[in-house]
Structure 1
Amino acid sequence: MKKTIIRSAALLAAGLLTVTGCASTAKSTAEGVDFPGKDIRLIVPWAAGGSGDLTARTIAPLLEKDLGVSVIVENKPGANGSVAYNWLAEQKPDGYNLSMMGVEVATLQFMDYDIKPENYAPIGQGLSGPGAIAVPVDSPYKTLQDLVDDAKAKPGKLTFSSPGIGSVWDSPAAGLQQLAGIKLTSVPFDGSAPAVAAAAAGDVTFSIDAIGSQKIQVEGGKLRYLAMLTDERDPNNPDVPTAKESGVDLKNASWVGIMAPKGTPEDVVAKLSDAMEKATADAGYQDVIKNSNLVPTSRNAADMATFIQDEAKRYGPWIDFAKNNTK
């Protein structure tokens, strides 16, 4: 009799474990289907006012509309974006903590940061920002060649503002030095907005940054475009030659996207990526981006992962040069 009771109790316990396991699986599946069930936090790795910040604050309401929850934007600038990227890598991979991302997620690995593309789950791309070289409006340089000639005569004396070595705009400055055979001095800032403002104030010789980031200062009469880092002349600034036309075959564009921590479930990534593609296709979003001299650009999660790896290969040699040759 005693053995029968013990055996029955064991069978009951086994049955309860089976039921509990099924309930756990059902709950996990339901959570995946129900995502998102609470507000999403979207970090901006740069200071307010730049193209990345603009993208976040333009796209957030559109994501809210599609996902049905609030998307809270928060700036967390510092150290070439690594402050935000390190923060994101430590978050639970559940889709509720996201970050804007730029080329630094592909390039900081060359600067001995523990930040690599494989540490994150790309969601998608929102824009690209063709670059330009601009000088203070009262600068003596009328052409890019004027600047290059003076830099050759004064090695290391000419300065440019950037978000720091390894960033999207410091790197093409290294390319400029390589191609033109000159030496420049980099003055780092926490993001494009303060970097461009420094150039507008005359604190540095020139700015190398996105056309859109420089636009306000150009329109305000503080900066003047010297050359566009594009294949063709910018339609909004047709009188400004490309760098190639000016004797230096240099092209570069920033880009901005969104990413999640590594290990975020594929169905969550897919839902966020789909929402982002819809947002970037929105006419209002495209108008805001175009009016800022930026280019609405959409890549889904899978395409973005490949693109980031390609960017790492492109920027690596520039960064190596910057580390060894720029003051």
Structure 2
Amino acid sequence: MSRVIVLSGGVSTEHAVSLASGADVAAALEERHSVVSVVIDIDGTWRVEGHAVDSPDEVLDEIDSMDVVFPVLHGGWGEDGGLQAELDARSIRYVGSPAAACRTGMSKLASARAAASRGISPIPVRVLHRDRFLADPDLLTGALARSADLPLVVKPDTGGSSVGVSVVRSAPQLRAALDEAFLLDPVVLLQPLVHGQEISIGVWTDDAGSMHATGASLLHLPDGEAAFTYAHKYEDAGGWLEIPARLPAQQLAELQKVALETAAAVGVEGLARVDVFATEDAILLNEINTMPGLRRHSHFPRLVAASGTSYDDLLDSLVRQVARTRAAA
């Protein structure tokens, strides 16, 4: 049995999602481990079992070489490698990918480039920078509206849960979409709206240390809707995930290969979810999530469960792997 420090919350747009994940993770691990729940408020205050502490150091200084941190943090410092670098500097063991992989995975652009180095095709992208946009928003928006093929997708380079993602179908919608995305990130991506199957594959490390790919999920959206939004995911706005997706064996094998290659290119350890679009001609990488949602009935745990490993066993395995194999630096 290990002492596990479950971190959730965080200063990011995915704060509420992380809290929900952290609560379920802590409850599941309590059956087999000694769990300490640490919540980071949206203002940055750290709370241990509900009690505020003066600084994060007060928590981190008490973590010893036998403990395991489970950072159930989505977005921001908790998922972009900042926390992981701090834990590495303190020789603290943790579940999930190392700092470099988190930095790459957090950036849709960086992860696409990493995957492309292994022959994986990403969605074509045009990159915009906030400083150029702010210099003359009307000029840049007008130029894009004249040159871009609509519809297109506007999204922040970092972040998740579809926050700040817009489908633009007309020139007047473009300015609002750019304004929203640039509020969240200094780098914004413009991509064509891909017409194809939206599919996800989970990857995770088993007790023997081998990385495996799950079966697939297939997204079904309400008629007339083109993108899986935050509302679809968390506010019951329609849309559902077919898990496991009924796909031809050869197609599934190709999808699993893409997922494993993408995870290897990014440097994933422990767990991740890889999202792609499958068209008639290609499999196109959308993004990778190095700390996917971990509520008991979230997308990633459902993928793993459909492959034969329960939620409780998945979390226990991830903790035991770290306790056994990732020696403190």
Higher CA-based Rg: 1
**TM norm. shorter chain > 0.5:** no
- Return the TM-score normalized by structure 2: 0.35
Highest RCO, 1 vs 2 (Cα 8 Å, sep ≥ 6): 1
- Return the TM-score normalized by structure 1: 0.35
Greater share of residues in helix = 1
Greater share of residues in strand = 2
